[in-house]
């Protein structure tokens, strides 16, 4: 089946085809969702190698667990949940080794999108860098909630589905995370106050939310890095 034909099929039907043995169906799901999964992983972990490994782990898990999908949520929500769990597992392991996910300038620089590093004003690069560094100080659960709600723009209810927790838990994690970040980011909000840019996002609380990053399409790993072998059987 060619790519144009696959592009007309819904995510849920593609997953069903994959379970039935279609060798191309899961590769199309990866193509559709990889960039957003990568953006969530990168901002949650703050490390490109860890994020790439987390996305690969998540996609392999989704590939193998596709038969368990029951359609109670959207396929994209299901994939994000698996990815966030993979990220949280890695973040907790890193914390147990007493290492920081973002602990030096070189690695922080690598988190900027290639187009941003080349074209954006130095002030914007510095803001993004400091934001990622500040997120790295939060506990993994709070960081994941803030990445989904404040940086990716997910409604709280959808973030709750992804994280598999009640909406009240997402709200409290975001509130605690914002409270911890506020002293670190107040100067960034003041610097950005005269830019005239709107923060956007229907869930962001004026004056307390994490400043939005430059976009969701962070330069991700190559297809082979995201999931070895594309849609081939694991």
Residue 25 has pLDDT above 80, yes or no: yes
Q: How many residues does the chain have?
A: 234
Listed range (111-115, 155-159, 186-190) with the worst mean pLDDT:
111-115
Tokens 């100080």, residue?
137
Q: Residue 15 — very low, low, confident or very high, per pLDDT cuts 50/70/90?
A: very high
- Residue (of 124, 135, 163, 151) closest to 215 by Cα position: 151
| Residue 219 pLDDT grade (very low, low, confident, very high; cuts 50, 70, 90) | very low
Helix (H) or strand (E) holding 44: helix 25-45
For 67, which DSSP code?
G
- Check residue 85 and give its pLDDT: 92
Do 83 and 40 meet the contact criterion of CB atoms below 8 Å apart? Answer: yes
Higher-pLDDT residue of 47, 94: 47
Average pLDDT estimate for 27-48: 91
Tell me, what's the pLDDT at 90?
A: 87
- 8-12, 21-25, 150-154 — which is least confidently predicted? 150-154
Chain segment 117-151, per-residue pLDDT in tens: 334 455 556 666 777 778 888 888 999 999 899 88
pLDDT value at residue 221: 52
Structure tokens given for 7: 């592009």
Residue 32 vs residue 92, higher pLDDT: 32
| CA-angle at 181, arms to 180 and 184, nearest 5° | 120
Q: How many CB atoms lie within 10 A of CB 20?
A: 9
């Amino acid at each position: 089946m060619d790519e144009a034909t696959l592009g007309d099929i819904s995510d849920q039907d593609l997953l069903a085809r994959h379970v039935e043995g279609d060798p191309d169906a899961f590769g199309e799901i990866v193509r559709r969702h990889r960039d957003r999964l990568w953006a969530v992983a990168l901002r949650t972990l703050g490390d490109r190698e860890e994020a790439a490994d987390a996305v690969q782990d998540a996609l392999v898990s989704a590939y193998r667990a596709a038969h368990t999908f029951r359609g109670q949520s959207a396929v994209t929500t299901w994939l994000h949940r698996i990815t966030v769990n993979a990220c949280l597992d890695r973040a907790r392991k890193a914390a147990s080794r007493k290492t920081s996910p973002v602990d030096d300038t070189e690695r922080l620089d690598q988190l900027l999108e290639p187009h941003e590093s080349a074209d954006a004003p130095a002030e914007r690069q510095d803001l993004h860098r400091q934001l990622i560094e500040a997120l790295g100080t939060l506990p993994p659960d709070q960081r994941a909630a803030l990445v989904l709600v404040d940086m990716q723009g997910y409604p709280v209810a959808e973030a709750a589905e992804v994280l598999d927790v009640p909406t009240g838990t997402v709200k409290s994690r975001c509130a605690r995370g914002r409270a911890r970040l506020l002293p670190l980011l107040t100067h960034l909000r003041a610097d950005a106050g005269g830019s005239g840019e709107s923060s956007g996002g229907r869930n962001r609380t004026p004056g307390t939310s994490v400043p939005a990053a430059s976009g969701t399409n962070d330069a991700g790993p190559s297809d082979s890095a995201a999931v070895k072998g594309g849609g081939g059987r694991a």
